Amino acid sequence: MGMVGGPGGFGCTGTLIAPNWVLTAAHCMTGIGPAKAVVRINGVDYRSVRVLVHPRTDLAPNVFGTDPANDIALIQLAESVVGVAPIEIYRDAPLVGQSVTVVGYGAGGGPEGAVGGYGVKRSGVTPLDFVTTRIIGWDFDDPEEANTAAGDSGGPVLIEQDGVFYVAGVISGGDKADGSLGDRSYNTRVDAYQNWIDTMLFGDLANDDDHGDGFNNPTLVTIGSTAFGTLEHADDFDFFVFTATTRGTVRVILRSLDTLDPFLTIYNARGKRTQFNDDDPGKPFRSVVEFNVKRGEAFYIVASGYEGSTGSYRLRIKGPVSALPRSAPLVGSGFGDRDARMLWWFMDNRKSSRIAAKLLAFLSASPTAL
């Protein structure tokens, strides 16, 4: 476990689940850029290269603490943590009455409220009182049991099995800010996200869907194009990617063709979630987002079903198109948006255009060249 924060300091908790991946709560990453998260483990600060918030995270006050909140995120560290063994995620369904251990660097909940300040690792044991599709939690009605409070968010809810602890939950929140007796605490249920976690850590290795399910194998689309697909199961996420060919406003429309309740998400090239939409106002089976783009910028589009709904859809990408096409294989090549924009600036301004064109063609043909 470690303290989690950003440029403004630490304020949450996280769990190392792979040598360079930390599991935490999505609300802990609010306002923190892909390279701005910091995780302190055993006194050593590790910085992030990506912060991946779940595609369907919704932290609206009327949603937070319920299944649709999806309060879960992953932090990819710039380097592997040394001397600390990662904790595996729990892949079975937690049960009501099952004993769990909660750990956090926050204030910790007690009968009278917070038992201390942030920065000290505390732990305690409590039984689970309720289990929903995506939430596990308890009612803090016994002073002998443990509870969580501010600063514990993102920390693990652990289940012991055959002498080994697994991460079964991510601490999310509670009804009482001070975590005092009478609080009802809710935590994100990790086994419900195991497919998403595996795909983010290791990529979509199966690649057996109509469209890729991860950042490693998205379907290439262009502005002005239309794509069709089917979400076959609750954990199906269809990834698409496009590169903007000119500056302007892009409008992405995800429309259900049958029973699907669509959910639309946009990530930038560094994995930061920039927009999401459940239902377009007045049109419950259509999700729409609009955002501004610059030349050479790459964006990922993720089509999914609200609360795991399934069905077929049509995806349309509308916006300005340059007469000179840009090459999407630059995405993920290590050749960044800023570099791409620089090349296009040279070409558009007729400066070193022949060299720039040759280099761009080489990169387009060899995505891993740099």
pLDDT of 113 above 80:
no
pLDDT band per the 50, 70, 90 thresholds, residue 18? very high
H/E element, 360: helix 353-365
Give me the sign of the Cα torsion angle 115, 118, 122, 126: positive
Non-local CB neighbours of 117 within 8 Å, separated by 6+ positions:
107
What is the C-alpha to C-alpha distance for residues 318 and 164, in angstroms, rounded to an integer?
51
Q: Edge-to-edge strand order for the sheet containing 164-174?
A: 122-127, 99-104, 156-161, 164-174, 184-189, 135-139, 130-131
284, 305, 323: which is the final residue of a domain?
Answer: 323
143, 174, 195: which is the final residue of a domain?
Answer: 195
What amino acid is encoded at 314 in this protein?
A: R
Q: Can you give the residue range of the structural domain that contains 41?
A: 2-77
H/E element, 197: helix 194-202
pTM (predicted TM-score): 0.84
For residues 63-69, give the mean pLDDT. 94
% of the chain surpassing 70 pLDDT: 86
H/E element, 166: strand 164-174
For residues 74-84, give the mean pLDDT. 95
Tokens (6 digits) for 160: 């012991």
Instruction: Work out the number of other CB atoms within 10 angstroms of the CB of residue 93.
Output: 12
What is the C-alpha to C-alpha distance for residues 369 and 358, in angstroms, rounded to an integer?
13
Least confident of 74-78, 94-98, 141-145, 339-343: 339-343
**pLDDT attached to residue 351:** 39
Looking at residue 300, which CATH number applies to its domain? 2.60.120.380
Residues 211, 319, single domain; the answer is yes
What is the C-alpha to C-alpha distance for residues 96 and 126, in angstroms, rounded to an integer?
11
% of the chain surpassing 90 pLDDT: 69
Is residue 88 in a domain?
no
**pLDDT attached to residue 365:** 44
What is the chain's mean pLDDT, rounded?
Answer: 86
**pLDDT attached to residue 210:** 86
What is the C-alpha to C-alpha distance for residues 199 and 189, in angstroms, rounded to an integer?
17
Looking at residue 125, which CATH number applies to its domain? 2.40.10.10
pLDDT band per the 50, 70, 90 thresholds, residue 204? confident
Instruction: Work out the number of other CB atoms within 10 angstroms of the CB of residue 96.
Output: 11
Residues 260, 342, single domain; the answer is no
Is residue 351 in a domain?
yes
Residues 248, 356, single domain; the answer is no
Is residue 94 in a domain?
no
Residues 268, 370, single domain; the answer is no
Q: CB of 103 within 8 A of CB of 13? A: yes
How does pLDDT run across 262-288, given as a tens digit for each residue? 999 999 999 999 999 988 777 779 999
Dihedral (C-alpha) 340, 342, 345, 349: value to the nearest 10 degrees? -130
pLDDT of 107 above 80:
no
**pLDDT attached to residue 278:** 87
Residues 242, 292, single domain; the answer is yes
Tokens 């589009």 belong to 301
**pLDDT attached to residue 255:** 96
Query: Nearest CA to 198 among 252, 235, 241?
Result: 235
Tokens 């502005």 belong to 223
Is residue 83 in a domain?
no
**pLDDT attached to residue 4:** 96
Least confident of 26-30, 249-253, 346-350: 346-350
**pLDDT attached to residue 265:** 97
The structural domain count of the chain equals 4
What are the phi and psi torsion angles at 82 (to 5°)? -100, 135
Tokens (6 digits) for 289: 């987002």
Is residue 278 in a domain?
yes
How does pLDDT run across 318-331, given as a tens digit for each residue? 998 765 444 444 44
**pLDDT attached to residue 240:** 97
Residues 137, 152, single domain; the answer is yes
pLDDT of 361 above 70:
no
**pLDDT attached to residue 345:** 43
Tokens (6 digits) for 219: 């379907």
Residues 172, 251, single domain; the answer is no
Residues 341, 308, single domain; the answer is no
What is the C-alpha to C-alpha distance for residues 147 and 125, in angstroms, rounded to an integer?
8
Provide the CA 212 distance to its chain's centre, in angstroms: 17
How does pLDDT run across 120-177, given as a tens digit for each residue? 899 999 999 999 999 999 999 998 888 988 899 999 999 999 999 999 999 999 998 8
Residues 217, 315, single domain; the answer is yes
**pLDDT attached to residue 207:** 67
286, 307, 323: which is the final residue of a domain?
Answer: 323
Residues 169, 222, single domain; the answer is no
Kind of pairing, strands 219-220 and 135-139?
unpaired
* Beta strand spans in 7-155 (E): 9-18, 21-24, 38-41, 44-53, 73-77, 99-104, 109-110, 113-114, 122-127, 130-131, 135-139
Is residue 84 in a domain?
no
pLDDT of 101 above 60:
yes
Residues 334, 365, single domain; the answer is yes
Query: Nearest CA to 1 among 163, 205, 154?
Result: 154
Residues 49, 110, single domain; the answer is no
